[in-house]
């Protein structure tokens, strides 16, 4: 099978985006938050954990901890106890405390608006930085690549990469920059609702005709 040209992949991506936008007109970040700091904390907690579980924990957490100093000044044990229902709670508590201390030291307690500054914070990689920039600030700096985005990008044959940063680089030329935040939401929503890792519902998929993997299964 000949390699699909960049022009053809761009066109197919636009068709995929149109189909997903119609299927999920209300797609959005499913982590509950009201402030950039809350989104930053929730995203750190979400690593290897479901958004649903994170939202259960942060409902009480955000009532107790309002600002960066609250997290930075909390003891390790206290914060661990507050997020104990979350996987990897010990390392996440340490990262959150370090993250918020650096916010105080370098950013007057405020969440910075650049990817360079964000990735210097404890527990913050490029994915978390992209989540915060795109959703809290509307800054289209990159494409969030989580397990759903990586899986669907592969199934749709938009990438052969397994490394999230390489997947992001493969997706960026195909998606208009103004849609970089939304393409992640659309793919995540579709991954959770129609295209899970096991038993994807290809026969019930809104973009099945655009998916080489889906056509193989049909």
Residue positions annotated with a catalytic role: 127, 146
E strand segments, 168-217: none
Q: Find all residues with CB under 8 Å of 109, minimum gap 6, and list them.
A: 67, 68, 69, 100, 103
Q: What angle do CA 193, 196, 202 make, to 5 degrees?
A: 80
Query: How is residue 109 annotated by DSSP?
Result: T
- Measured CA to CA, the distance from residue 34 to residue 190 in angstroms comes to 25
Per-residue buried b or exposed e for 17-50, using 16+ beta carbons within 10 Å of the residue's own CB: bebbeebbeebebebebeebbbbbbbbbbbbebe
């Amino acid at each position: 099978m000949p390699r699909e040209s960049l022009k053809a992949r761009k066109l197919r991506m636009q068709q995929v985006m149109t189909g997903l936008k119609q299927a999920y007109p209300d797609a959005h970040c499913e982590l509950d938050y009201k402030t950039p700091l809350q989104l930053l904390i929730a995203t750190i907690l979400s690593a290897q954990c479901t958004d649903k579980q994170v939202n259960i924990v942060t409902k009480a957490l955000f009532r107790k901890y309002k600002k960066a100093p609250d997290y930075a000044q909390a003891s390790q044990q206290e914060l661990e106890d507050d997020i104990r229902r979350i996987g990897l709670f010990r390392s996440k508590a340490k990262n959150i405390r370090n993250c918020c201390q650096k916010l105080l030291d370098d950013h007057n307690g405020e969440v910075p608006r650049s990817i360079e500054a964000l990735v210097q914070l404890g527990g913050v990689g490029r994915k978390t930085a992209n989540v915060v920039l795109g959703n809290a600030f509307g800054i289209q700096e990159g494409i969030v690549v989580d397990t759903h985005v990586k899986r669907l990008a592969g199934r749709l044959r938009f990438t052969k990469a397994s490394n999230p940063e390489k997947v992001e680089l493969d997706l960026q030329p195909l998606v208009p920059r103004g849609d970089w935040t939304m393409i992640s939401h659309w793919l995540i929503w579709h991954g959770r609702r129609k295209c899970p890792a096991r038993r994807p519902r290809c026969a019930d998929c809104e973009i099945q005709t655009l998916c080489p993997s889906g056509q193989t299964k049909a």
